[in-house]
Amino acid sequence: MTSERLKASLDEFAIFGGTPAFAEQLHVGRPNIGDRDRLLGLFNQILDTKRLSNMGPLEREFEQRVAEMLGVKHCIAICNATVALEIAIRALGLTGEVIVPSFTFIATAHALQWQQIVPVFCDIDPETHCLDPRSVERMITPRTTGIVGVHLWGRACEIDALTEIADRHGLKLLFDAAHAFACSYEGRMIGGFGDAEVFSFHATKFFNTFEGGAVTTNDDKLAEKIRLMKNFGFAGYDQVIYIGTNGKMSEVSAAMGLTSLESLDDFVANNHRNYRQYSSELAELPGLRLLTFKEHEKCNYQYIVVEVDQTKAGIGRDELVRLLHAENIIARRYFYPGCHRMEPYRTSYPDAGQALPLTEQLAERVLTLPTGTAVGETEISGIGRIIRKAIARGPEIHERLVAEHVNLPLTAKEY
């Protein structure tokens, strides 16, 4: 960052020709890597023993450690969360219609549609960004067989309310916990709620196994079925007793997982520090709301989520994203424009948006900011300063962007 007087005039914003605040791009996240020597030691062990995959010792140890950490009976490691969702959905016997939020990553919906199950998109609570239980209840039809809640940003769904609805209607309840590893709900670790929960350990998550995921459950029978399904349905040599797929986690991924587990507290502490700093940098700005996390719950703080309300900030979310990109702050829209406006759902259910007013509003407002090890105190104070200056002059910036025709919708390459 340059001087405190930075961006004293509009011309000093990089979007209007000024010098970018950062020489290098700051990204939303950078993969966390634990102790390199420990990881390389495990890689050597894999090469020495030549156990590369097929429920090897590291995969089993990883499953056991995760189950212990989450206080859940079973953890089944899978090659990624999308396949984990597909397997869990099939193992639970879901068919017909399943209620899901549209404000989620597309994999949540695709995992259903992939198996000819209709994802019925349901509106969210604008406070929590998660499924609104009252809307869920309204979407239930005789064809509904289940609910897939998403613990978005690592903040738990209204689990008790969803469990009560699922029980009352005889529906299965699955949670997409891709964002919620190491998070809790009312003091209990996420992983043991509903019929099953699914985690993602993709490289973009704060805890990664390169690619990877897991299904966790307290249901012995379901766990057994999922174990069969992730290995083609093999119950023994030459004995296939079930339809299955290949959902196994490789040993190198498990090695990464075991190494990452040892550094998990450090990863979380780093994210938490960043979150606390952002909270003070972005406090009480008109039209800007930083999503908060409950301090009494465990949380991974892996997303810094901001909502921009143009009617109060003067500047729109897309305009702010573009302005930040020009400064080399690669803020990102998330879950825009909502699953229901992506294919094949957009064509199949063109009117789905009518039942999703809050999802559509939120999809126009949300952006995420750089965190993780990509940024430290200096960067966050620089980002905070730019955002404060942009909000302070929001209407002027908006007018100039309009006048200079640079407020066009963001293209796919820009977010």
Ligand X SMILES: Cc1ncc(COP(=O)(O)O)c(C=O)c1O
Q: Where do contacts with ligand X occur on this chain (CB under 6 A)? A: 80-82, 104-105, 107-108, 150, 176, 178-179, 200, 202, 213
- Shortest Cβ 275–ligand X spacing (Å): 19
Angle between helices 36-49 and 57-70 (to 10 degrees): 140
Distance of CA 41 to the CA centre of its chain: 31
The residue among 58 and 148 lying less far from ligand X, judged by its C-beta, is 148
Closer CB to ligand X, 150 or 366, in the complex: 150
Among residues 26 and 174, whose Cβ is nearest to ligand X? 174
Q: Which is nearer to ligand X, 102 or 108 (CB)?
A: 108
Please state the closest distance from residue 315 (CB atom) to ligand X, in A.
27
Sheet arrangement for strand 288-290:
288-290, 304-308, 366-369, 332-333
Output the CA–CA distances (angstroms, integers) from residue 151 to 124, 183, 364, in the order listed. Answer: 12, 10, 20
Minimum distance, C-beta of residue 378 to ligand X, in the bound complex (Å): 29
Q: Which is nearer to ligand X, 21 or 177 (CB)?
A: 177
Closest to ligand X by CB, 108 vs 163, is 108
The crossing angle, in degrees rounded to 10, of helices 251-281 and 36-49 is: 160
Q: Which token pair is 94?
A: 């879901």
Rounded to the nearest angstrom, the gap between the alpha carbon of residue 323 and the centroid of all alpha carbons in its chain is 24
Q: How far is the CB of 83 from ligand X (least distance, A)?
A: 7
Give me the least distance between CB of 82 and ligand X, in Å please: 3
Helix, coil or strand: residue 90 = helix
CB of 103 to ligand X, least distance (A): 10
Residues making up the chain, counted from first to last: 415
Smallest distance from ligand X to CB 316, Å:
25
Long-range contacts of 104-109 (CB under 8 A, 24+ apart): 104/150, 104/152, 104/176, 104/335, 104/339, 105/178, 105/335, 106/339, 106/342, 107/81, 107/82, 107/178, 108/148, 108/150, 108/176, 108/339, 109/339, 109/345
Nearer to ligand X, 214 or 326 (CB): 214
